[in-house]
Structure 1
């Protein structure tokens, strides 16, 4: 748990956000992103408290648990006491729990990040989260704006690239406005297509039923003719009747 000194600092600075406590078992198998999140939040609070390097080290070590604490005890036992500093701890912690492979993967995710189905706001949040891993490649705000612009969808990028905005806040704001205009235009087109469709009148449907009714009546009218013709064939033994019928119905 937190030592008494750290607890006193938090009580004396109620406006400082409390860092998240380590999980019950902060094992080596913990996801590296969680380890980084824990370390960054702890460091941020210590900086807000204006702690000295020695106090930062003591406080952070007091928050370690289980296998992570045993790892630090092993490292510190084979390191000269004068070399155990806050800077030394940070280097060793990142080396152990935040590997270069992890950092390289995050940098790749940033360089390949595209807006896709995200809104501009969602894309911005993901871009900011990943940008911390590419400080060596994205060193200025102008380079960050260029990288952000490259990942935008084409319909937004085409309308803002010519402006050459090199302030990230202004660039994001302009991208959001273009997104709103595009959404409004798409909604207007959708409503126009719906209104341009010809109305369906009920009489057209009744007319189809009438046609169907006529088509069923006609076979009933022809039925007596077929019946009579069959009866005539059955009475083929009566020549006079056949002649009479033939004369009567010959066109």
Structure 2
């Protein structure tokens, strides 16, 4: 570990950075207190060496270099290279520092650099967290303030996770907006005659060759109530599953017994989310169970367009997690990865579940956890079944939503 040479500068940041690096060297080689100045002055060259020689002659005359403390050296060094005017400027800049268009990582780096010049503003971790949180972008600050972090590294980690979650959510909304815009243009084609009233264009309720009216919601030709976007099966008309996993359709094809209770877990980095279900035979603490649970395929697009799911950041046992609220899920689940990350204690289920994944692999589900979930200032308990979720850490289904009288308002 070689110390960096210093020749003097007019930039206070460079001077402070040299001090920081020297102190890292002292710690790395376990340099005794009375030897620190001797090592520091050996790497001071040019104008910096001239300054120290003259300053020592004027202010430390008759004292050996070993008797001069590091604090005395720092005070003299900063008076020369980090003057009071510059320190006042940095203090004001730190006080008024806000994130704006910076990333959380960029904001943290600038905050930390300025904090070195203003120890009075950040005398401890709690004050440092408070000042840092004050300058965060409003949407991020609103999400992290409920965690009440007093450890700076934890606060920064949470802010980074929230920022990433918001960016992904924005990207999903923009993608949905583009798809809806393209669909709207498609409906404006030759088959869709439009009428205008007071300058506003609307779809006319014209009929096609089949004699059925054109729907004002989806633009297709059909009668009755439109089922687009209300999580209703297009085959049987029942709520809680999609056409591709309709029990009546699958029974008609001669397949094995089908699930009557559906639990959806939307999301997935590979564009797929699981839908878990089982026949209702034997009652357990987690609902009805009997036949082998199966995981069906649900496209990411279907999950994004669903009106009764919402994702966000919450606190689970005082740690930030990505949560999906899904009123179409009959039960609540937690990811194996977050169990390991947070070192949560698991409990055995009353009965082992054998879950078939879309890949054809069958896994055993044996465990659940009891955790504390915090939403703003309110705390809730939840019993979550451990399954291999990919994109979300926790899925809160209808059992948890109904127990706590939660209504999803998208």
TM-score normalised by the chain length of structure 2:
0.41
**Pairwise CA RMSD of aligned residues?**
2.5
Q: Tell me, what secondary structure is at the counterpart of 1:82?
A: coil
Pairwise CA distance, 1:62: 2.1
Q: Tell me, what secondary structure is at the counterpart of 1:38?
A: helix
Paired residue for 1:190?
Answer: 174
Paired residue for 2:57?
Answer: 77
CA distance in 1: counterparts of 2:56 and 2:30, whole angstroms:
25
CA distance in 2: counterparts of 1:43 and 1:178, whole angstroms:
34
CA distance in 2: counterparts of 1:148 and 1:125, whole angstroms:
11
TM-score normalised by the chain length of structure 1:
0.64
Equivalenced residue count is 184
Paired residue for 2:89?
Answer: 105
Paired residue for 1:131?
Answer: 115
CA distance in 2: counterparts of 1:165 and 1:68, whole angstroms:
42
CA distance in 2: counterparts of 1:139 and 1:107, whole angstroms:
13
Structure 1 residues 128, 32: CA separation in 2 closer, same or farther (over 3 Å shift)?
Answer: closer
Paired residue for 2:26?
Answer: 46
Pairwise CA distance, 1:45: 1.2
In structure 1, list runs of 5 or more residues that go unmatched.
Answer: 1-16, 205-251
CA distance in 2: counterparts of 1:169 and 1:76, whole angstroms:
40
Larger fraction in strand: 2
8 Å CA contact 2:94, 2:111 repeated in 1: yes
Pairwise CA distance, 1:174: 2.0
Pairwise CA distance, 1:132: 1.9
Q: How does 1:23-42 map to 2 (within 5 A)?
A: 26-27=7-8, 29-42=9-22
CA distance in 2: counterparts of 1:162 and 1:113, whole angstroms:
22
Q: Which has the higher contact order (CA 8 A, sep 6+)?
A: 1
CA distance in 2: counterparts of 1:91 and 1:75, whole angstroms:
12
- Larger CA Rg, structure 1 vs 2: 1
CA distance in 1: counterparts of 2:162 and 2:34, whole angstroms:
50
CA distance in 2: counterparts of 1:174 and 1:77, whole angstroms:
51
CA distance in 2: counterparts of 1:189 and 1:80, whole angstroms:
70
8 Å CA contact 2:5, 2:44 repeated in 1: no
Structure 1 residues 181, 42: CA separation in 2 closer, same or farther (over 3 Å shift)?
Answer: closer
Paired residue for 2:271?
Answer: none
Q: How does 1:162-177 map to 2 (within 5 A)?
A: 162-177=146-161
Pairwise CA distance, 1:83: 6.9
In structure 2, list runs of 5 or more residues that go unmatched.
Answer: 191-410
Q: Tell me, what secondary structure is at the counterpart of 1:186?
A: helix
Pairwise CA distance, 1:53: 4.1
Pairwise CA distance, 1:115: 1.0
Give the one of 130, 138, 142 matched to 2:126: 142
Pairwise CA distance, 1:128: 1.8
Q: How does 1:86-125 map to 2 (within 5 A)?
A: 86-87=69-70, 88-125=72-109
Question: Which aligned segments of 4 or more residues in structure 1 are displaced greater than 6 angstroms?
Answer: none
CA distance in 1: counterparts of 2:157 and 2:31, whole angstroms:
37
Larger fraction in helix: 1
